[in-house]
Amino acid sequence: MSEIKRIGVMTAGGDCPGLNAAIRAVTKTAIQKYGLEVVGIKHGYRGLFLGGDNFVKLGLEDVSGIISRGGTILYSSNKDNLFDYTYTDENGVEHHGDMSDVGVENLKKAGIDAMVIIGGDGTLTSGRDFARKGVKVIGVPKTIDNDLASTDTTFGFDTAVSAATEAIDRLRTTAESHSRTIVVEVMGRYAGFIGIAAAIAGGCDAALIPEIPYDINKVADAIKANRARGKNFALVVVAEGAKPLDGDVVVSKVVEDSPDPIRLGGIGEVVAEQLEKLAGLESRATILGHVQRGGTPTANDRILSTRYGSYAVDLLMEGKFGNMVTLKGAELSYDSLENVIGKNKAVEEDSYWVETARRIGICLGD
């Protein structure tokens, strides 16, 4: 579109592998295909609010060589919702409320005609809200949890599963050497894609995921049945959001100033302790945590984030504002942010994930 001369790009929310590849693709496509100027907005929505030095011009030299880097050269923040924002001014006075107009004004001051916003559900919720205010927005889906609606896959997921699988491979040797049960806690608050994928790829005995409440006795029975067949160790993957029948998730802490204050964690230790008593094998728990978010993105994530970032610029230039890039099969498409937000995807009972796990004897605790 002729009225678009300068675009902004932002990353917000939790970091994940592939963000830099997406930034690179946005920048290279905008400059080389359309002759646009590109401005990177640092520190997510906080940078959009503060303006100034948080707005940096991106040229081809700035994105050279970053495709293999984890994290994001634009940095991130996951606590800054400008539609419900708190900040302290230079006089020490605290302000709270809808500060989104400040962000819109900063975009106008910087001459930014349209935005590519890279993020998960929380980040894209604000993207949708800015679109409602007239900002020309295209969203790019990223999250290691793979739980965004309307798209088959989000970038970051493949790398997270690979990291979890590598950890399981390493833990297998010590589990077998010491005849132990090792419980591996992975991320996944409300969606168990990482958990079930890593369990399949890692050859685990059980996978406990948020979508299928588990009976710990059935997990113990599966381990004992494997022992009766001569297997002297067990590997169990548990997503942080898994919960027992008639039970609830394990909360590690509450962060009051966060838009998502409930932090899960600790279910691995709980499951390990229970299985040691019920299955008769000494048990240990390993919490992978942010290991799954960091490091070098896999080739698949580099390719996917590059496709997403490049196509996002195409959508801007076609005037398809207010949408998110999607992948269906092998084809790129888009769906309205209005339709995407608040409809998070989960592992379904009839999915190939669950079917495959059951076929090869992975216990899901039900």
Q: Which residues are catalytic?
A: 145
Q: Measure the CA–CA gap between 136 and 323, rounded to whole angstroms.
A: 10
Q: Measure the CA–CA gap between 177 and 71, rounded to whole angstroms.
A: 36
CA distances (Å), 36 to each of 19, 33, 110, 317, in order? 21, 8, 14, 10
141 forms beta bridges with: 119
Q: Measure the CA–CA gap between 187 and 322, rounded to whole angstroms.
A: 30
In our burial notation (b when 16+ CB lie closer than 10 A, e otherwise), range 102-116 reads: bbeebbeebebbbbb
286 forms beta bridges with: 184
11 forms beta bridges with: 118
In sequence order, the 6+-apart residues with CB closer than 8 A to the CB of 157 are 143, 144, 145, 146, 193, 194, 197, 301
Residue with tokens 């927005």, as numbered in its chain: 137
Contact indicator for 15, 159 with CB cutoff of 8 Å: no
Q: Measure the CA–CA gap between 238 and 194, rounded to whole angstroms.
A: 10
251 forms beta bridges with: 264
